Chain A
Amino acid sequence: NAGVTQTPKFQVLKTGQSMTLQCAQDMNHNSMYWYRQDPGMGLRLIYYSASEGTTDKGEVPNGYNVSRLNKREFSLRLESAAPSQTSVYFCASSGRGLAGLGPTDTQYFGPGTRLTVL
């Protein structure tokens, strides 16, 4: 099992360009998440999908859109990149569905995408 995979690993964009970050998991998990990590600020939730067919905003959704393509895949799109979106982006998945996190639940993280917007 590959776990959670993300593409690309690195990306450099110019201000105003668009791109989509891809995430896939092979653990048959119901829930998937997108986080960004900035120095000194920890991980911040951008969007999450509790189950296939649902998506909801997290703490910092502005400037992003998401698509839960199927149970395995959850993509994050930047429509018009800005320098403030320079960050490391992590995708994660967890097994529990609409009841939310709880005992024995664990979020498994992908390797991350390092995005620089010039």
Chain B
Amino acid sequence: QKEVEQNSGPLSVPEGAIASLNCTYSDRGSQSFFWYRQYSGKSPELIMSIYSNGDKEDGRFTAQLNKASQYVSLLIRDSQPSDSATYLCAVAPRGGFKTIFGAGTRLFVKA
């Protein structure tokens, strides 16, 4: 059974702090890694995708991938109350369509 594991939270951080979200996956053949944000009652929207080991930065967001450790993380700098949402980690295999989603981590940013 291919799995993607996330801490369900909630993770609570003060406004302006760095929020660190983590994800591990079981399939070593995974090639594509995604972070989605989902507000309550809404559909998921992509924040970041990463395909190579290392860091990828986009504005206040940094995704980190370590394939040897089967670990992917998302850092949110200068966290804002509007970042309060559930963050879903998703993993897709090489050449495949069967994306596996984690259950998500709930993030609360306190003003």
Chain A interface (Cβ within 8 Å of chain B)? 31, 33, 35, 40-45, 48, 50, 56, 58-59, 90, 99-112
Given A42-B103, A42-B104, A43-B44, are A105 and B98 neighbors across the interface (CB < 8 Å)? no
- CB of B32 within 8 A of chain A? yes
Inter-subunit contact B96/A101 (CB<8 Å) = yes
Inter-subunit contact A90/B97 (CB<8 Å) = no
Given A102-B51, A103-B49, A110-B43, are A58 and B32 neighbors across the interface (CB < 8 Å)? no
CB distance from B65 to the nearest CB of A (A): 13
Inter-subunit contact B98/A45 (CB<8 Å) = yes
CB 8 Å contact bits of B26-63 with A (1 = contact, 0 = none):
00000110100000001111100101000000000000
Chain B's interface size range is 20 to 34
Contacts of A45 in B (CB 8 A): 98-100
Contacts of B88 in A (CB 8 A): 42-43
Inter-subunit contact A100/B43 (CB<8 Å) = no
Inter-subunit contact A101/B43 (CB<8 Å) = no
Q: A58-B98, A90-B43 are in contact. List 5 more A-B contacts (CB 8 A).
A: A43-B101, A50-B97, A99-B95, A109-B44, A111-B42
In the complex, what distance in Å separates the CA atom of A16 from the CA atom of B99? 30
In the complex, what distance in Å separates the CA atom of A104 from the CA atom of B99? 15
Given A31-B97, A58-B98, A59-B98, are A106 and B46 neighbors across the interface (CB < 8 Å)? yes
